[in-house]
Amino acid sequence: MERRRFFLRQCAGLALGLWLGVGCVQGPSEAESPLAAPALGQVDTATIDACMVCHSTREMQRGPVLDGLPEWYLAEQLRNFKSGHRGKNPANRAEALMGAAMAKVGTEAQLAALARHFAGRKPQPYIRVVRGNIAIGRAQYATRCASCHGAKGEGKPEIKSPPVNVQEDWFLLDQLRKYANGQRSVHPSDAGGLVMKAALAGLSPGDFQNMVAYIARDLTVTPPLQKVGPPKK
Ligand code: HEC
Ligand code: HEC
């Protein structure tokens, strides 16, 4: 059912011309269609559906929602998974989940098309779950993070620094912990990861929480989703 609905959503998106570079139906008719994606590399819906098993809000055990991350950053991280800069650390089981998925991404063109696909989607609102001291977090963000991630968390592509204002708060916190405890950026040629790891020197897990609580409340581009309780009888 879910798969079917997902497929229909994608087709609707294509019909509206919103489907950035990703075909809904792969077939000979596509070549003639004015809406056909450029031959820059296409991803079939089955591959995207496979990504969405973990990268949507459907599952409890899942990866982050990728919608709205910049194309260059998504491509960069997919290359990191492909080359083994990420995902080869047995201590990071979450990253290891990506390994099997990357086996489906055979070519650079496919990888680029996947990055384009997720970058073309709108950032998703999410339920804020990280609590912390906003004032302390704001001050720390300004002195320790803003130079690379921007005053609004918008990121700086020229130094390959991603935005931090679209991801879910739990994922931001999780990644800060992983940089700090050596679960992310363990590969000696993962230049970006090593820069980020160094940026956390001297900060504590409590600092991470304060900064993420601040980012989620004041910088995140989507409004918070409210928790919905069980329906009243
Ligand atoms: C079996 C689950 C699973 C599947 C399938 C999967 N992923 Fe992931 N992915 C994850 C998890 C978990 C993480 C977070 C890793 C971590 O916490 O270190 C992740 C991380 C990522 C990241 C890094 C995000 C960031 O901001 O650092 C990207 C990009 C990504 N996945 C893209 C994809 C794409 C594209 C596909 C489909 C080809 C895919 N994933 C399929 C589980 C999965
Ligand atoms: C010197 C520049 C620099 C500074 C300072 C810096 N970062 Fe980063 N940050 C980066 C780069 C580069 C990356 C991408 C690293 C990679 O490829 O793994 C990154 C990645 C991240 C990520 C992972 C995003 C994702 O989607 O996977 C988070 C979260 C993050 N930074 C938060 C912070 C916070 C909070 C601070 C302040 C304590 C900070 N950064 C300071 C450069 C910086």
CATH number of the domain that 103 lies in?
A: 1.10.760
pTM of the model: 0.85
- Spatial contact of 105 and 47, defined as CB atoms under 8 Å apart: yes
233 inside domain: no
Q: Ligand 2: which of 148, 166, 169 to mutate, judged by most atoms within 8 Å of the beta carbon?
A: 148
User: Quick one: which ligand is closest to 95's CA?
Assistant: 1
Ligand 2 in reach of 147 Cβ (< 6 A): yes
59 inside domain: yes
Domain's final residue, options 95, 119, 143:
119
Residues 75 and 23 grouped into a single domain: yes
Q: Which of 117, 126, 131, 19 is nearest to 65 (CA)?
A: 126
The pair of three-digit structure tokens given for residue 25, joined into one six-digit string: 């139906």
CA dist 201 and 197 (Å) reads 7
Atom 13, ligand 1: which residue's CA is nearest? 63
What tens digit of pLDDT does each residue of 111-145 get? 999 999 999 999 999 999 999 999 999 999 999 99
The yes-or-no verdict on residue 20 having pLDDT over 80 is no
Residues 97 and 200 grouped into a single domain: no
Residues 58 and 9 grouped into a single domain: yes
Which helix (H) or strand (E) segment holds residue 130: the answer is none
Residues 109 and 189 grouped into a single domain: no
Residues 47 and 75 grouped into a single domain: yes
DSSP label of 156 = B
Number of folded domains in the chain? Answer: 2
Domain's final residue, options 70, 95, 119:
119
Residues 12 and 113 grouped into a single domain: yes
Residues 140 and 211 grouped into a single domain: yes
Ligand 1, CB within 6 Å, residue ranges: 47, 50-51, 53-55, 63-64, 66, 69, 74, 77-78, 92, 94-95, 97-98, 101, 104-105, 114, 174, 178, 184
CA dist 127 and 225 (Å) reads 5
Domain's final residue, options 119, 148, 182:
119
**Lowest mean pLDDT, pick from 34-38, 112-116, 199-203, 207-211:** 34-38
CA dist 185 and 86 (Å) reads 7
* Ligand 1 centroid distance, CA of 95 (Å): 7
SS3 content of the chain, % helix, strand, coil (to 5): 50, 0, 50
Domain that holds residue 106: 2-119
Specify the ligand 2 atom closest to the Cα of 69.
26
Residues 139 and 209 grouped into a single domain: yes
Query: Which residue(s) pair with 161 in the sheet?
Result: 156
108 inside domain: yes
Residues 152 and 112 grouped into a single domain: no
User: Quick one: which ligand is closest to 45's CA?
Assistant: 1
